Amino acid sequence: MFKQCSALLLGTLALLSGCTDQQSTQQQAAASKPDAKQEMVVGKDYHSQSNPEQVKVTNIALDLDVNFDKKVISGDAELTFEKVKQDASSLIVDTRELTINKVTANGEEIPFTLHPADSFLGAALEIPLPATGDKVKISYATSPDASGVQWLTPEQTAGKKHPFLFTQSQAIHARSFIPLQDSPQVRVTYQANIHTPQDLLAVMSAANDPNTERDGDYQFNMPQPIPSYLIALAVGDLEFKAMGRRTGVYAEPSVVDAAAKEFEDTESMLITTEKLYGPYRWDRYDLLILPPSFPFGGMENPRLSFITPTVIAGDKSLVSLIAHELAHSWSGNTVTNATWRDLWLNEGFTTYLTYRIMENVYGEARFNQEAVLGYQDLEADVASLPPKDQILAIDLRGRDPDDVFSNIPYEKGALFLREVEHTIGRENMDKFLMEYFEHFAFQSITTDQFLTYFKKHVVEQYPDKLDMARINEWIFEPGVPQDAPMPESDAFSIVDNARNNWLNGEMNANQIDTKNWTVHQWLYFLNNMPEELTLEQLHELDRAFSLTKSHNNEIAHSWLMIAVKNWYQPAFGRLNDYLVHIGRNKLVKPLYRELSKTVEGKKIAKEAFDKAKAGYHPLTVKANQGFVE
Ligand code: BES
Ligand code: ZN
C-alpha cells in the first residue's frame, strides 16, 4: 500500500512533517556538487590502480595453501591476460599487504615492481608483459592481518573444536588475498586448488560438489566471468544439507539443521525470482552460514551466498536477507556495477527485487511492513547524512568505500524503481527488468550506460508519464524527490495506536494485545518510540515483554538502542554480551556510535570493544574503533 506524499526532507534538514520547497532543493543540490565534478571520468574506477584499459586479465588459476598456524594463505595465482592496447607493455594488478615472492612466465622468472602502498588502495604490482604467451604466474603470501580474511580460533566457532576461515572481498579487499585487477569492471573466470588441514572442508564462490570427499584437497571452477569482489573462500568444519533440488546449506554441524529449517523457502524464492526476472544462470544456489563475527548480514558470492547466523531467528522473520542475496544473482552478479559509484545498480535493484520476492512468497501484508521499515531507514539517513552522500551516483573519489556504507543505494534506489513501477505499471516494469538482465548479462555497467538504456527502453516508451528530468533528480540529486511513493501498512496503524495509548497513559504495557504481532510490528513499535523515555516506562516495557531477553537479534538491537539512549542499566549485561558476540556491523555499529556520545557510555563501549576486538573481523574493528578512542 502506498500513498503519494513526500515526507522526506533533503540534506541536513531535520525530519519535519511537511514537504520541502523546490528552491531549497536546488540550493542544496548545487551546494553539494563537488567542484571537481567536471573532471570525473565517468566509468573510471578510482578504487583500483590496475590497468584493464590496456591489458585485461580474463582468467585466474589459483593454487593455494591455507595455513591456520601462521594465518597465511600462500601459493600461486596464474593470470591469463588479453591485450586491449596492442602497444601495452605491462600488466598492473592490485595488492594489499601481499608478499610477492616471484613472478614467472613460461617457466622463467621475470622482474616486477611493487609500487609504494596507498593508504586504502594498497600497492600496485607492475609486471612487464612476457615476450610470448598470455600468462603470468605470481607466487605470493598474504599477511596475517589481510583486510579481506578473517581467521577464527576454535573458540570463536559454534563447534569450538576446529578453526575457521572466511574471506570478504567486497568492495576492495580481494586484493588482500589475491593479486588481481580488483575492479568490478574486470570479469574473470577462475579455477582453484585449495589445500587445507585434512579434517576441514573448503568451499568457494564456484561450483561446489556437496558430496566431495573431505581430504584437505579441493578443486573449484567458476565458468562464468565474475568481478573480483565475488571471489570468496571459506574453510571450516562444514556440513551440507539439501533444502531443495538446486538449494542447500553449508554450516557447522551444530547449526546446519536449524539453518536448513529457517531457510527452507529458499527454493521457492529461487523459482519465484526466475518467474519474474528470467533464468537463474548459476546452476546451484547454496548458502554458507558463517560464525557470528561475519561483518555483514549477507554477501552474494555467486552460487554460495555467505550468511550471518544472526538471522536464524526460529520463525523465518529475518529471511528477507536470503531473498536479497539471492536477488543479487540477477542484479549484481549477472549485471554488475562497473565502479563503486554505481553501487546503487547492485543494491537498489536488489532491494527492489527483494521486496517483490518477499511479496510473492509471503504475501502483501509482510511486504508492506518490510517496505515501511525500509523507508524509515531511508528517512533516517536522509535526515542525518550530508547531501553529497545522499546521491545515488555518488562521487567516491578519494574515499574508502568502506566508510560510505548507508541505506541510500539500497532504499533510495529501490524507491526509485518502485516509482517507475507505479508509473508504468507492474507488468511493464517486470518486462523491462527481465529484458535488462538479459541485455546486460555478464557485463559490468555504469550508471550512464543504465540511463542510456533506460531512456530508450522505458522513458521514451511512456512520454506522457516519465521524463528524464525526474529520473536525473532521483539519480544525481540528494534527498528524495517530492511525491515519491510512500509505503504504508495497516498492521503498523494498530501498533501506532497501541504505542500512543501507552505513551498517553491510557493503557498499561501489559494491556496491549501483542499476541499476534509479527517481528516487524515489534520493530516498528520500538523504532518509533520517542527519543526519551523514563526509567519507569522502560522497566514497564521490559517487565511486560522481556525485551532484554529477546532472542530475535533485530528486536534486541532496537531495544538496546533505546536502552543506551535512556541509560537503562538492567539491559547493559545483555548489551555487553551482544557487542562481544556479534560482529555484524549493521547491528553493532549504531550501538557503539550511540554509546560513544557520553563519557560513561564510551567506557562501556571500550570495555566491550577491548573484549571483542580479537574476535572481530578487520572491517568491524575499522568501523568501530573510532568510537572507543
Ligand atoms: N553486497 C552486500 C554487502 C556489501 C555491500 C559489502 C557493499 C561491501 C560493500 C550485501 O548484499 C548486502 O547488501 N548485505 C546487507 C543485506 C541487507 C540489506 C538485507 C547486509 O549485510 O546488511
Ligand atoms: Zn546487497
pLDDT tens column, 373-418 = 999 999 999 999 999 999 999 999 999 999 999 999 999 999 999 9
Phi and psi at residue 55, to the nearest 5°: -135, 130
pLDDT tens for each residue of 34-81: 455 568 998 999 999 999 999 999 999 999 999 999 999 999 999 999
- Tell the CATH superfamily of the 336-476 domain: Neutral Protease Domain 2 (1.10.390.10)
Return the number of other C-beta atoms located less than 10 Å from residue 603's C-beta: 12
Give exposure, 491-522, as e/b (b: 16+ Cβ within 10 Å).
bbebbeebbeebeeeebebeebebeebbbbbb
User: Are 326 and 273 spatial neighbours (Cβ–Cβ below 8 Å)?
Assistant: yes
> Per-residue pLDDT averaged across 219-243, rounded?
98
Cα–Cα distance, 53 to 55 (Å, whole number): 6
Catalytic one of 229, 410, 568, 578: 410
Cα 56 to its chain centre, rounded Å, is: 27
Give exposure, 355-386, as e/b (b: 16+ Cβ within 10 Å).
bbbbbbbbeeebbbbbbbbbbbbbbbbbbebe
pLDDT tens for each residue of 257-295: 999 999 999 999 999 999 999 999 999 999 999 999 999
Q: Sheet of 217-227: strands edge to edge?
A: 108-110, 99-105, 135-141, 72-83, 55-67, 187-195, 217-227
**Minimum CA distance residue for ligand 1 atom 2:** 299
| CA–centroid distance, residue 358 to ligand 2 (Å) | 15
**Closest ligand 1 atom number to CA of residue 170:** 8
Smallest CA-to-CA distance from 284 within 357, 211, 337, 355 is with 211
Q: Residue 148: nearest ligand to its CA?
A: 1
User: Are 95 and 123 spatial neighbours (Cβ–Cβ below 8 Å)?
Assistant: yes
Q: Which helix (H) or strand (E) holds 601?
A: helix 599-612
**Minimum CA distance residue for ligand 1 atom 5:** 170
Catalytic one of 325, 411, 421, 477: 325
User: Are 351 and 415 spatial neighbours (Cβ–Cβ below 8 Å)?
Assistant: no
Smallest CA-to-CA distance from 569 within 592, 595, 551 is with 595
Under DSSP, the state recorded for 5 is -
pLDDT at 5 over 80: no
pLDDT tens for each residue of 125-180: 999 999 999 999 999 999 999 999 999 999 999 999 999 999 999 999 999 999 99
| CA–centroid distance, residue 342 to ligand 2 (Å) | 13
Binding residues for a peptide: 168-170, 295-300, 584-586
| CA–centroid distance, residue 141 to ligand 2 (Å) | 30
Cα–Cα distance, 194 to 199 (Å, whole number): 13
Under DSSP, the state recorded for 290 is P
- Rg, C-alpha atoms of the chain: 25
Size (the chain), residues = 629
Question: Which residues neighbour 468 within 8 Å (Cβ) at sequence distance 6 or greater?
Answer: 455, 459
The CATH number for 494-628, chosen from 3.40.50.300, 1.10.600.10, 1.25.40.320, 3.40.50.1860, is: 1.25.40.320
Active site residue 325: yes
Smallest CA-to-CA distance from 499 within 510, 509, 489, 488 is with 509
Q: What percent of the chain stands above pLDDT 70? A: 94
> Per-residue pLDDT averaged across 460-486, rounded?
98
Q: What does each C-alpha distance from 484 to 29, 289, 356, 412, 420 come to in angstroms?
A: 17, 37, 18, 10, 10
| CA–centroid distance, residue 392 to ligand 2 (Å) | 15
In sign, the C-alpha dihedral spanning 11, 16, 19, 20 is negative
User: Are 188 and 59 spatial neighbours (Cβ–Cβ below 8 Å)?
Assistant: yes
Smallest CA-to-CA distance from 66 within 173, 249, 195 is with 195
Per CATH, domain 4-236 is 2.60.40.1730: yes
Q: Which three cell numbers stand for residue 128?
A: 612487464
Q: Residue 318: nearest ligand to its CA?
A: 1
Domain limits, CATH 2.60.40.1730, in the chain: 4-236
Active site residue 252: no
- Ligand 1 interacting residues, C-beta cut-off 6 A: 170-171, 296-300, 321, 324-325, 328, 347, 410, 586
State the residue for C-alpha cell 574515499: 399
Q: Which three cell numbers stand for residue 231?
A: 571471489
Q: Residue 306: nearest ligand to its CA?
A: 1
Q: Mutate which of 172, 290, 299 to test ligand 1's pocket (most atoms within 8 Å of Cβ)?
A: 299
The model's pTM: 0.95
User: Are 454 and 349 spatial neighbours (Cβ–Cβ below 8 Å)?
Assistant: no
Domain limits, CATH 1.10.390.10, in the chain: 336-476
Cα–Cα distance, 156 to 614 (Å, whole number): 10
Q: Residue 305: nearest ligand to its CA?
A: 1
Q: Mutate which of 289, 296, 349 to test ligand 1's pocket (most atoms within 8 Å of Cβ)?
A: 296
Q: Mutate which of 308, 310, 324 to test ligand 1's pocket (most atoms within 8 Å of Cβ)?
A: 324
Please give the residue that has the higher pLDDT: either 422 or 27. 422
pLDDT tens for each residue of 474-515: 999 999 999 999 999 999 999 999 999 999 999 999 999 999
Cα–Cα distance, 396 to 160 (Å, whole number): 41
Confidence band, pLDDT 50/70/90 cuts, at residue 1: low
Cα–Cα distance, 398 to 476 (Å, whole number): 19
Binding residues: 168-170, 295-300, 324, 328, 347, 584-586
User: Are 285 and 248 spatial neighbours (Cβ–Cβ below 8 Å)?
Assistant: no
According to DSSP, the β-strands at 247-251 and 285-289 are parallel
Under DSSP, the state recorded for 99 is E
Q: Which three cell numbers stand for residue 238?
A: 562444514
User: Hey, what amino acid is at 249?
Assistant: V
Smallest CA-to-CA distance from 47 within 104, 133, 121 is with 121
Domain limits, CATH 1.25.40.320, in the chain: 494-628
**Closest ligand 1 atom number to CA of residue 332:** 1
Q: Which three cell numbers stand for residue 340?
A: 563503486
User: Hey, what amino acid is at 304?
Assistant: L
pLDDT at 332 over 70: yes
**Minimum CA distance residue for ligand 1 atom 15:** 297
User: Are 590 and 624 spatial neighbours (Cβ–Cβ below 8 Å)?
Assistant: no
**Minimum CA distance residue for ligand 1 atom 19:** 321
What pLDDT score does 39 carry?
84
| CA–centroid distance, residue 217 to ligand 2 (Å) | 31
Binding residues for Zn(2+): 324, 328, 347
